[in-house]
Structure 1
Amino acid sequence: MANFASTTQGGDAIAADDASSSRKHAARTSAKPSSRSSSGAGSTRRRNRPGPRQRLLESATRLFTTEGIRVIGIDRILRDADVAKASLYSLFGSKDNLVVAYIEELDQDWRRRWEEMCADRPKPEDRILAFFDMAIADEPKENFRGSHFQNAASEYPRPETDSEHRIRQAALAHRSWCRDTMADLLTEKFGYASRTLADQLIVFLDGGIAGSKMSRTVSPLETSRELAKQLLYTAPMMYTI
């Protein structure tokens, strides 16, 4: 009987040890992520990751707007975007073409944000003043770097190649759109076209942005907005065209 009890107790101890080992193994198994799960998460991240073109443009925008265009080399952009050189040349052909695409992307974003700001501004004079209001809002957020379009054009004062000419043209296209939009709004307000008045307004905007960049305050832009407002509300109905 004593031997039977001893054997029984020993068997119970072994069973308890086995149960304990099973629980520990189960705990380790549940705590450790499966390779399949990790692989799935990685695949999801890769699927949600922007494509090479978008990554290149995002990196170019971040680097060009904060440090300048000419000082940033191709290798720096490729590292930041995590894109192979072959992809850059396949998508854009050259750094200069990437610069053109970067400026055009900035221009489209600027127009979109201007349209959004004007959504609740039915009067043409208020939509003109939105150009100044956008600059006043942007400059502090951009660390008073000035107009990215002016900055890009100033880096190519004497373009020597076709691609450098296209860079300047892309920057000037934004300014031309601003001026032409102002001219159309002036026609809507006064009933006649006045390129001269539009030229004065764009010079106010150019000067306000440049002044804010120099002084690192929005005061010059606020002054230029006030000058634009006075012009808009005091221009004679038969302004010389």
Structure 2
Amino acid sequence: MTDAVSGTSTRKSSTRTAGKQASGQEPRSRSTGGSKRRSRPGPRQRLLESATRLFTTEGIRVIGIDRILRDADVAKASLYSLFGSKDNLVVACIEELDKDWRRRWEEMCADRPKPEDRILAFFDMAIADEPKENFRGSHFQNAASEYPRPDTDSEHRIRQAALEHRRWCRDTMADLLTEKFGYASRTLADQLIVFLDGGIAGSKMSRTVSPLETARELAKQLLYTAPMMYTI
């Protein structure tokens, strides 16, 4: 009697399973796996994310192609078809870091209408970033320092990509200074960018934000005393 009931239960279970398979339903684990595969970033994005993480935490020159490919789970052929070379990938990573930095600066400045507050946002961003980045310093300074005397066109492009970020910071500061004071302020922008460079380098060495806070205070003093130094 018990065997008969058990057999009936087994047949019903089998019938339900067969019905699910016939209707196209799959076990939950398979569905979840498929969803993860569908939401997975494409090869280009995975390469950029892996390379950026490795370059910024360990350095550019010490990271080989094979390490990036393993981390990104991408075939070598895909890397060369998408970027052409490791150096091109480095340039792309630096450009993406620059775009992200500019975007975050714009977001920080959304509620800062005064030009002087927008200038100080450069320092505020660095103060916020350094502890989160384990005091590694500026990714752009670090990249440029790995190629102090570039020998190839690719190395020149890597260095130029890093310097482009610094040029944008300086030019943006200059425009904001002109907006504040009503006259061209390239020299003041040069001083401010030196404050920022020095603050970042000092924080990297001391592993504290104190040098950046000092740099911010120097920038603030300059912003409020500069009109006394010039005849408008």
- TM-score scaled by structure 2? 0.91
In 1, Cα distance between equivalents of 2:14 and 2:58: 50
Which residue is equivalent to 2:90? 99
Percent sequence identity is 86
Matches within 5 A, 1:1-241: 13=1, 16-24=2-10, 26=12, 36-37=26-27, 38-236=29-227, 239=230
**Deviation per residue, 1:91-110 (Å, 9 max, x gap):** 00000000000000000000
In 1, Cα distance between equivalents of 2:153 and 2:72: 26
List alignment gaps of at least 5 residues for structure 1: 1-12
SS state at 2:51 partner: helix
Report how far residue 225 of structure 1 moved.
0.1
Q: For residues 211 and 48 of structure 1, do their structure 2 counterparts lie closer, same or farther at Cα, with a shift above 3 Å needed?
A: same
Report how far residue 40 of structure 1 moved.
3.9
SS state at 1:159 partner: coil
Contact 1:204 1:227 in 2 (8 A): yes
After superposing the two structures, state which structure 1 stretch, 165-174 or 33-42, moved more. 33-42
Q: For residues 28 and 71 of structure 1, do their structure 2 counterparts lie closer, same or farther at Cα, with a shift above 3 Å needed?
A: farther
In 2, Cα distance between equivalents of 1:135 and 1:187: 23
In 2, Cα distance between equivalents of 1:49 and 1:112: 24
In 1, Cα distance between equivalents of 2:166 and 2:140: 8
Q: CA RMSD in A?
A: 2.2
Q: For residues 88 and 201 of structure 1, do their structure 2 counterparts lie closer, same or farther at Cα, with a shift above 3 Å needed?
A: same
In 1, Cα distance between equivalents of 2:136 and 2:57: 8
* 1:95 partner letter: K
In 1, Cα distance between equivalents of 2:176 and 2:16: 66
Which residue is equivalent to 1:7? none
**Deviation per residue, 1:8-27 (Å, 9 max, x gap):** xxxxx2xx422223324656
List alignment gaps of at least 5 residues for structure 2: none
